[in-house]
Structure 1
Amino acid sequence: MTAHPLIPRSVLFGNPDRMSPALSPCGRFLAYLAPDARGVLNVHAGPWEGREFRPVTADAGRGVRAFAWSGDGRVLLYAQDRDGDENTRLYAADPAGAAPARDLTPYDGVQARIVAIDPRCPDRVLIGLNLRDRARHDAYRLDPATGKLDLAARDEGFTRWVADDRMRVRGAVRAADDGSAVLLVRADEDAPWRELHRVGAEDAPALRPFGFTTGGRHLLLLSSLGSDTARLLRVDTVTGDSEVLYEDPRYDVEGVGTHPVTGRAQFVLVRRERNDIEVLDPSLAADFEALRAAARGDVTVLGRDRADRHWLVQHNTDDGPAGYRVLRRETGRTVFLFSHLPALDAHGLARVEPFSFRARDGLRVHGYLTFPPAGSVPPAPSGTGHRRLPAVLCVHGGPWTRDLWGFRSEAQWLANRGYLCIQVNFRGSTGYGKRFTNAGDREWGGRMQDDLQDAVRHTVALGHTDPGRVAVYGGSYGGYAALVGAAFTPDDYRCAVAVAAPSSLITFIESVPATWGPMAAMLRRRVGSPETERDFLWSRSPLSAADRIRIPLLIGQGARDPRVRSEESERLVAALRRNGVPHEYLLFPDEGHGFVRPRNRLAFYAAVERFLAQHLGGRYEET
């Protein structure tokens, strides 16, 4: 059998060709991220029909990672920190590239956040700034043309702001230390706050106000109150009456598409095994039929112009690059723009298969399997189906998020190197209703870890996985899970890879950044309190069982990470060194929580690839 060619790491983990496109409010222009001549990601912009794009930002460091058009389309806004310290400043770039970017928030040690951009109020942007108190982000209206700031609301322990179509802050969510939360509204910025929607701790994670309809009387709201799953509600802010616009009995509503002028809900996103769009407004049925016919894959509407004549959409598949198109609604035809990584077209990619299993306590758990394409591993004996493969258990971060179907560089990389990639949406993951998410409370290193073990054992029982050649791999929470596997159940894994991984839950929770604000109380409730449960947290900390680690470890860390500080990794590395455990420690001095610079990403993945090949026997790119 001819060996399946190796996909170069530079293709999978270098810069994309183009990514994150955004349509201007007038519908004539497009902006996207792409590497400049130096290989640094910067914003490019131009008329999408003429395809005359040029770089309009000139960042020379970590690159621009996200941006947005202002409501009037006159500037492009982006936030940038320094080497991952998360003290972001907000910049305004000229879409024509005729002038250098302007720093709109020139404050040292302050974090700027974009809260709302709305074409219904085109000359203002709502931002959050922790100028007054590093733990509180007050809301300001910003004029991007002049940089003038106008205080819109003071942070009184709020976790979310909601602006109406006039960019007035008229909604806010306040969280309590007991985990409950309340949605507050007011008639105007001079009026007092009053309660509109209160939820207990079990429903607070799903509470998400989406926005006001035009005129400001009704508020679109995601809430699981009275249901296991998050439903889309329309709430009358005067009477408090609510109407359920959409619900699914098993999965949360996770996104809402609204009309650009009226603000009314027209479709919702429900992430089941794949990303499903459910149309609420019958007038859009033909549009989505046209989009589904235009290309295979799951459809995501990325933006609409103010006249609602053009939609920017993405088609996402599992075995190819994401493709971007513009839908002309008048004709029902789409115009292909580009894919995010055309170089992938030259390589055969793997399919991603949803799977599920019963955990040891009976809970149904879902995930995804990515098998190596034919030629990436030696053939199985005749008639035996899938060969028992070396496997990498890839644990997502968060943990309050989930893995999704579609193209993922890491899954394709692992499959191409000959490994079965196992992704598990363990309890605590989101999208499957509140009972499933809340089942992860106080289960870091407990039943959340059991779900990961049970997933591997399920694939072993199916004949897919070689139980003697399994690695556990992850970043952030996933890195913590990798360390837990190495420390508490080392017999289950041949080796482990952990990035930005807390080794002590005590010091991790005690050192959360001030900018997290109410998140600190949430961690204490859902994970444990260092003040009252120190022994419990220590028992769930990999550092407490460092002497039991005997499998090889590769640890990656950003020196400027404000979330999981380098001391977390260094204390564990010191223990490994004392105990003579084989390990590699990669410390990147110019990175934060995750590796952004291409040279650092490529160095990290090259080291991981060698490490996995050494211990699991997969393929390795020599260059």
Structure 2
Amino acid sequence: MRYLISASSLAVTALLTACQPANTASETDQAGSASETIVTRYDAATFHETTSFSMASSSGFAWSADDSRILISSDETGVFNAYAVDPSSGDREALTASETNATYALSWFPDDDRAVVTADSGGNEINHIYVRELDGRLNDITPGEEVRAQFLGWSPDGTDMWVMTNERDQTAMDIYAYDTLSYESGVVFQNDDSLDIGDVSPDGRWLALVRNRTSADSDILLVDLASGDATPRLITEHEGNIAHGVYTFTPDSSQLVYATDEHGEFNQAWTYDLDTGETAPLIEADWDVQFVIYSPSGDYRVSAINADARTEVMITDTASGEALALPDLPAGDLGSVRFSRDESRVAFLINSATSPSNLHVVDLDSQAHAQLTNALNPAISEAEMVDAQVVRFESFDGLEIPGILYRPHGASAEHPVPALVWVHGGPGGQSRIGYSATIQHLVNHGYAVYAANNRGSSGYGKTFFHMDDRRHGEEDLMDIVSAGEWLRQQDWVNADQVGVIGGSYGGYMTAAALTFHPDAFEVGINIFGVTNWERTLASIPPWWESFREALYDEMGDPATDAERHHAISPLFHADQITKPLLVIQGANDPRVLQVESDELVAAVEANGVPVEYVLFPDEGHGFRRRENRITASEAYVSFLDAYLRGDEE
């Protein structure tokens, strides 16, 4: 039977189950002995009514002109807005007050307290750039119903803001300079070849572009904006498949810092001398280099590697080559490092599996450290959360698959629990260690979660990443099926209660598992998932033009691979679905159109199989509103209680 669930009805369910009576379970400690554990079941709101914080863009100014305030984004009202934080007291001042569209902070102006922010409309991914004026007004400087804009940075003298927009051609992002007083704009670079914009050098002379030929092969091109010749010049001539990307320019504009996998399995950071063309290694590691940025003066370099699903950040004194000394900090991954204008202080976020990101500031001279935010809901403690563990298993063909395991408190051979295989988006995404309100809510309600990084996931080398090219729904799907089998083999998992859940591409994998391996899982939860590859690949947004060729190389061109796309699309084979399914969809989704989920739900309903459908009229591809995340999380648990665990608790 099909159920179309409204947000209001699920909110009532959440209210009625706000804090269920405590359950007693036996928890096995590391020594193997069993001890009584009291587990209090909390509603979804308890986990989601944390506050999410993010920093202003690394391309802008996170610290105000006088270093008296830090620019962040926060969803403390339920919707993301921009805030100014006092680095001494932690006091926050709301700079925007949207009640509908998520609004994200990008940069302070170079010399005054105006701020740059961005927002789309209802999740449609058509972002505009707004200036928050000194009197609090929001000024849309990139108007136009179909105009999509992105902030790029500031001119060397701070009199112009660099913005990318597709106002000339929906498929290409051109660069415009917006006068900081009049907001009048002029073209800096016309992107006739629809290339990816990488970065502009601090002196405003050099523009780095990326041409994505395939998912395994890409090039970097340079434009000398001061020469009068806007023809991009290739600087990464090579043979075979080598991927390149742009990190940044050095602060003195003498070198481009770029990514390449030419020298091994992983992306390494190299430099390209803009005068001589010489290249040299900058950061080499046995993992991908995630990012490289610099402090305003260039005295410090901040870089990070993706070390087995964790972010390891290094702050280096560029003169000495030594690591910057920091005081003892809370456990977790450090990120979004932003130096003050005078470089006497540094702000950053720390995130872990049991704690959302919090804003911290360190005085580099005194080593004084302050945590400026408390993101976790005080109604629950970190001790009640479940930490994440990296666990690997052998897939159907012997390939080792990594993943992140969340094991509920009290799960043991005497008290086995139901379990879920969690599938990330992408297809080339990666499940990483960090706070997830949704996962913690599931685990709190007794569901183990194993976030499998199937072949094709990023972060484990280029060979692993490309194993699923033009084979999606085949071996990568078998990895997910094998993950379910591995869970069933754990003595603390109920072997008869294993489901699959995923969002975006993970939603596709969920629907595909129930379709093509109908006995592999007891239930599935498809969140914003693709079910009709023919339609999805033929209707991608025009602003994806810069990597259309690479996307088609990986997924297949709909003009020549329609037969395969039909074969792997769950919608065309939905008569094979026999297990209960929950579908989550945003009405404004530009990637997975609502009609896909409508049709899938109708097809499963025709099978006489239980199917529930939650449609959000104010969301796109993913959640931007806390109330909707809460509604969805309650829907997950209610569905699983009914069809996976069977309400046995």
Is this a same-fold pair by TM over 0.5? yes
Q: Distance in 2 between matches of 1:52 and 1:177?
A: 47
Pair 1:41 & 2:76 matched: no
Question: CA separation of 1:423/1:618 partners in 2, compared to 1, >3 Å: closer, same or farther?
Answer: farther
Shift of 1:597: 2.3
1:358 aligned residue (394, 415, 437): 394
Question: CA separation of 1:281/1:287 partners in 2, compared to 1, >3 Å: closer, same or farther?
Answer: closer
1:334 aligned residue (362, 369, 374): 369
Shift of 1:620: 11
Given residue 345 of structure 2, which amino acid in structure 1 is its aligned partner?
A: H
Pair 1:391 & 2:426 matched: no
Tell me which residue corresponds to 2:536: 508
Shift of 1:116: 3.2
Tell me which residue corresponds to 1:248: 285
Tell me which residue corresponds to 2:53: 19
SS across alignment from 1:173: strand
1:530 aligned residue (552, 558, 583): 558
Shift of 1:600: 2.4
Tell me which residue corresponds to 2:477: 449
Q: Distance in 2 between matches of 1:91 and 1:610?
A: 40
Any unmatched runs of 5+ in structure 2?
Answer: 1-23, 25-36, 57-61
Shift of 1:411: 1.9
Shift of 1:266: 4.9
Larger displacement relative to structure 2 (311-320 or 540-549): 311-320
Question: CA separation of 1:109/1:304 partners in 2, compared to 1, >3 Å: closer, same or farther?
Answer: same
Question: CA separation of 1:3/1:106 partners in 2, compared to 1, >3 Å: closer, same or farther?
Answer: same
After superposition, the C-alpha distances for 1:265-300 in whole angstroms (9 at most, x for unaligned) are 454333324222245547788875524x13222222
2:348 aligned residue (297, 302, 313): 313
Q: Distance in 2 between matches of 1:176 and 1:389?
A: 46
Given residue 359 of structure 1, which amino acid in structure 2 is its aligned partner?
A: S
Question: CA separation of 1:320/1:475 partners in 2, compared to 1, >3 Å: closer, same or farther?
Answer: same
Question: CA separation of 1:41/1:536 partners in 2, compared to 1, >3 Å: closer, same or farther?
Answer: closer
2:337 aligned residue (302, 305, 310): 302
Pair 1:146 & 2:174 matched: no
Tell me which residue corresponds to 1:29: 69
Shift of 1:616: 2.0
Shift of 1:264: 6.9
Shift of 1:9: 1.0
Shift of 1:602: 2.2
Q: Distance in 2 between matches of 1:351 and 1:283?
A: 38
Q: Distance in 1 between matches of 2:426 and 2:239?
A: 22
1:421 aligned residue (432, 442, 449): 449
Q: Distance in 2 between matches of 1:338 and 1:70?
A: 24
Given residue 340 of structure 1, which amino acid in structure 2 is its aligned partner?
A: A
TM-score by length of 1: 0.90
2:194 aligned residue (138, 157, 166): 157
Question: CA separation of 1:402/1:198 partners in 2, compared to 1, >3 Å: closer, same or farther?
Answer: farther
Q: Distance in 2 between matches of 1:493 and 1:558?
A: 25
1:69 aligned residue (96, 101, 108): 108
Larger displacement relative to structure 2 (316-325 or 257-266): 257-266
Q: Distance in 2 between matches of 1:12 and 1:146?
A: 45
- Determine if contact 1:313/1:325 at 8 Å carries over to the other structure: yes
Pair 1:174 & 2:211 matched: yes
Pair 1:116 & 2:153 matched: yes
After superposition, the C-alpha distances for 1:541-580 in whole angstroms (9 at most, x for unaligned) are 1123211100011111111111111111112122112222
Q: Distance in 2 between matches of 1:404 and 1:462?
A: 22
Structural RMSD (CA):
2.6
- Determine if contact 1:72/1:123 at 8 Å carries over to the other structure: no
Larger displacement relative to structure 2 (609-618 or 471-480): 609-618
Q: How does 1:76-91 map to 2 (within 5 A)?
A: 76-91=115-130
Question: CA separation of 1:355/1:540 partners in 2, compared to 1, >3 Å: closer, same or farther?
Answer: same
Pair 1:482 & 2:510 matched: yes
Given residue 164 of structure 1, which amino acid in structure 2 is its aligned partner?
A: S
Larger displacement relative to structure 2 (541-550 or 312-321): 312-321
Given residue 67 of structure 1, which amino acid in structure 2 is its aligned partner?
A: L
Pair 1:197 & 2:236 matched: yes
- Determine if contact 1:304/1:310 at 8 Å carries over to the other structure: yes
Q: Distance in 2 between matches of 1:280 and 1:337?
A: 24
Same amino acid, percent of matched pairs: 26
SS across alignment from 2:122: coil
Tell me which residue corresponds to 1:106: 143
Q: Distance in 1 between matches of 2:282 and 2:93?
A: 42
Question: CA separation of 1:72/1:302 partners in 2, compared to 1, >3 Å: closer, same or farther?
Answer: farther
Structure of higher RCO (CA pairs closer than 8 Å, 6+ residues apart): 2
Tell me which residue corresponds to 2:98: 59
Shift of 1:402: 0.9
- Determine if contact 1:214/1:263 at 8 Å carries over to the other structure: no
Given residue 555 of structure 2, which amino acid in structure 1 is its aligned partner?
A: V
- Determine if contact 2:215/2:554 at 8 Å carries over to the other structure: no
